[in-house]
Amino acid sequence: MNKVMLAKNTYLLGKMDDREVPFHRLILAKGTTYNAYLLKTEKPTVIDTVDLEFGREFVEYLSELIDPKEIQYIVINHTEPDHSGGLAALAGRAPNATIVCTEIAVNELKEMYKLHSRSFLVVKDGDTLDIGGKTLKFKETPYLHTEETMITYCIEDKILFPCDIFSTHVATNAFFADEADFDIIEDFIGYYNAIIHPHRRYVRTVINALQELDVQMIAPSHGYILREDIQKYIDLYATMSADTINDKKVTIVYTTIRNSTKKVADNLKKIFEENNIQTSVFNADKSDKATILESIKEADAVFIGSSTKYADMIGNLEDVLKDLIKMDLEGKIGAAFGSYGWSGEAIEVIQDYLNQTNLDVQSTSHVIKTTGMTHVEFPVRVRFTPKDEQLKKIEHSATYVADLLLSAI
Ligand SMILES: Cc1cc2nc3c(=O)[nH]c(=O)nc-3n(C[C@H](O)[C@H](O)[C@H](O)COP(=O)(O)O)c2cc1C
Ligand SMILES: [Fe+2]
Ligand SMILES: [Fe+2]
């Protein structure tokens, strides 16, 4: 463990982990660090902790700086156990501390660390917390990279604590990027690509929020602290998360009884068009099959949908699907969707057909395994006429595909 002062009464407590740590199905060849922070103010506050495995060590080390009983707040920006893991050891030794986190994080932390009887302070976007001599300001950053995530800014120190965002996976004894004996950019970009890029849409919200803050130092929870040329790193995130491609096409084909599936198709189209993706929609019962297949040949992503009637697809859709199996659709994205009443078999039958093509067929399982996102579902199953939550679901799935199409990485 290492400690270093970042500002008056603001300490970094970092644990270096120089193993080839297995993480998110990656091997971190260069290891990593878990950076936690202590703000030794009138109401002493810890921001994030370390990996579960090093929790006890962390508390011992923290105890050299402060009696844990004096700690008033423990801010948890992100519940993944590489940062919240130290809570298991710290919460017991810091009985007077209130845990500060987003609403979604409360239950996750209670369940993971048996903290059901603990006092929590739920913070929302823009809330501030006076910790006696310093003030913390919180910004919720949902889906960057998990749903409950937030970032914390210390107004007096002008330090941003963004947890996983702006991190690097390097086991380092040089705390600051400007003290490293090599250029950290490659590792900084490598980390972004591995952890942040699948969630790049949400990076833009953070960059906009940063414009209102005077950030003099970025103190993330892995790797180097950034204090020189900060704008360079922020600009890199902005560039890497921007859309890089703009000539993509989507084709949507559906069949319907009373237009609920058409509404799903139209809502998918709306999201794609908002992302400047040219989108063609066909009712398979009203369009010429050759025209549909021609459009699919030209498309970069293909959505096929039907409502369910007596446990099966309806109309001419099966004819189209049979032809898709014979076509070369390499490199294109495929997805199934449909409106249904109670069981939605048609949607699963379409998925089975798509799996017989050489489309890159989207599935919830694949999304979870590659990005950890649980709000994006494939196939897109919508009960009856799409409303409220169901419209959100359509939006999440279409946005996910738009992001795949518009990024070069
Ligand atoms: C005759 C009939 C049979 C249906 N059979 C099923 C079924 O087997 N399973 C199911 O989940 N929904 C079933 N439904 C419900 C429809 O799939 C649901 O109403 C859907 O929203 C219709 O979408 P659409 O307007 O796009 O056709 C049936 C509806 C009708 C009218
Ligand atoms: Fe994380
Ligand atoms: Fe992390």
Q: pLDDT tens digits, residue range 268-307? A: 999 999 999 999 999 999 999 999 999 999 999 999 999 9
Distance 308 CA to ligand 1 centre (A): 5
> Counting ligands in written order, which one lies closest to the CA of residue 51?
3
Judge if the beta carbon of residue 342 lies within 6 A of ligand 1.
yes
Residues ≥6 apart with Cβ < 8 Å to 386? 260, 263, 264, 267, 339, 394
22 pLDDT more than 90: no
Judge if the beta carbon of residue 339 lies within 6 A of ligand 1.
yes
**Predicted local distance difference test score (pLDDT) of residue 246:** 82
Task: State the DSSP code for 192.
Answer: I
CB atoms inside a 10 Å sphere around CB 381: 24
Q: What is the mean pLDDT of residues 218-231?
A: 97
Q: What is the pTM of this model?
A: 0.88
Work out the pLDDT band at 399, boundaries 50, 70, 90: very high
Q: Does domain 249-405 have CATH number 1.10.10.1100?
A: no
Distance 57 CA to ligand 2 centre (A): 21
Judge if the beta carbon of residue 257 lies within 6 A of ligand 1.
yes
* Cross-strand partners of 15: 34
CB atoms inside a 10 Å sphere around CB 181: 6
- The alpha-carbon radius of gyration of the chain (Å, integer) is 24
Top-confidence residue, 28 or 394:
394
Q: Sheet holding 2-7: strands in order across? A: 2-7, 10-17, 32-39, 45-47, 73-75, 98-101, 120-122
C-alpha to C-alpha distance for 394 and 268, rounded to whole angstroms: 6
Task: State the DSSP code for 184.
Answer: T
**Predicted local distance difference test score (pLDDT) of residue 173:** 81
pLDDT digits (tens, 9 = 90+) for 47-92: 999 999 999 999 999 999 999 999 999 999 999 999 999 999 999 9
Judge if the beta carbon of residue 256 lies within 6 A of ligand 1.
yes
Distance 190 CA to ligand 2 centre (A): 15
Instruction: Point out the ligand 1 atom lying closest to the alpha carbon of residue 344.
Output: 11
Instruction: Point out the ligand 1 atom lying closest to the alpha carbon of residue 254.
Output: 26
315 pLDDT more than 90: yes
**Predicted local distance difference test score (pLDDT) of residue 25:** 64
Work out the pLDDT band at 408, boundaries 50, 70, 90: low
CB 401 within 8 A of CB 335: yes
Instruction: Point out the ligand 1 atom lying closest to the alpha carbon of residue 262.
Output: 26
Instruction: Point out the ligand 1 atom lying closest to the alpha carbon of residue 255.
Output: 26
pLDDT digits (tens, 9 = 90+) for 226-246: 999 999 999 999 999 998 888
Residue of the CA atom closest to atom 3 of ligand 1 = 309
Distance 326 CA to ligand 2 centre (A): 42
Q: Do domains 2-241 and 249-405 have the same CATH topology?
A: no
263 pLDDT more than 70: yes
Distance 56 CA to ligand 3 centre (A): 19
What tokens were used for 171? 């086991």
389 pLDDT more than 90: yes
Judge if the beta carbon of residue 306 lies within 6 A of ligand 1.
no
409 pLDDT more than 70: no
Residue type at 266?
D
Residue of the CA atom closest to atom 4 of ligand 1 = 309
Q: What is the mean pLDDT of residues 102-114?
A: 97
C-alpha to C-alpha distance for 168 and 170, rounded to whole angstroms: 6
C-alpha to C-alpha distance for 387 and 55, rounded to whole angstroms: 45
* Cross-strand partners of 152: 138, 161
**Predicted local distance difference test score (pLDDT) of residue 19:** 82
Judge if the beta carbon of residue 255 lies within 6 A of ligand 1.
no
214 pLDDT more than 90: yes
C-alpha to C-alpha distance for 158 and 154, rounded to whole angstroms: 6
* Portion of the chain with pLDDT greater than 90, in percent: 90
CB atoms inside a 10 Å sphere around CB 216: 13
Judge if the beta carbon of residue 357 lies within 6 A of ligand 1.
no
Among candidate residues 61, 60, 112, the one with its CA nearest the CA of residue 85 = 112
Distance 289 CA to ligand 2 centre (A): 46
Q: What is the mean pLDDT of residues 352-375?
A: 96
- Concatenated DSSP letters of 55-94: HHHHHHHHHTTS-GGG--EEE-S--SHHHHTTHHHHHHH-
C-alpha to C-alpha distance for 350 and 368, rounded to whole angstroms: 21
Residue of the CA atom closest to atom 28 of ligand 1 = 309
**Predicted local distance difference test score (pLDDT) of residue 319:** 97
CB 49 within 8 A of CB 87: yes
Distance 344 CA to ligand 2 centre (A): 35
C-alpha to C-alpha distance for 255 and 16, rounded to whole angstroms: 57
Using a 10 angstrom Cβ sphere, with 0-12 exposed, 13-18 middle and 19 or more buried, the burial of residue 127 is middle
C-alpha to C-alpha distance for 221 and 78, rounded to whole angstroms: 10
* Portion of the chain with pLDDT greater than 70, in percent: 98
**Beta pairing, strands 45-47 & 32-39:** antiparallel
Averaged confidence pLDDT in the chain = 95
**Predicted local distance difference test score (pLDDT) of residue 136:** 98
Judge if the beta carbon of residue 27 lies within 6 A of ligand 1.
no
252 pLDDT more than 80: yes
Q: What is the mean pLDDT of residues 256-268?
A: 98
Domain covering 2-241 in this structure, CATH number: 3.60.15.10
Work out the pLDDT band at 17, boundaries 50, 70, 90: confident
Among candidate residues 128, 64, 62, the one with its CA nearest the CA of residue 97 = 62
29 pLDDT more than 90: no
Q: What is the mean pLDDT of residues 326-354?
A: 98
**Predicted local distance difference test score (pLDDT) of residue 62:** 96
Using a 10 angstrom Cβ sphere, with 0-12 exposed, 13-18 middle and 19 or more buried, the burial of residue 346 is buried
C-alpha to C-alpha distance for 164 and 173, rounded to whole angstroms: 19
Tell me the domain boundaries of the chain: 2-241, 249-405
Judge if the beta carbon of residue 270 lies within 6 A of ligand 1.
no
pLDDT digits (tens, 9 = 90+) for 170-208: 888 889 999 999 999 999 999 999 999 999 999 999 999
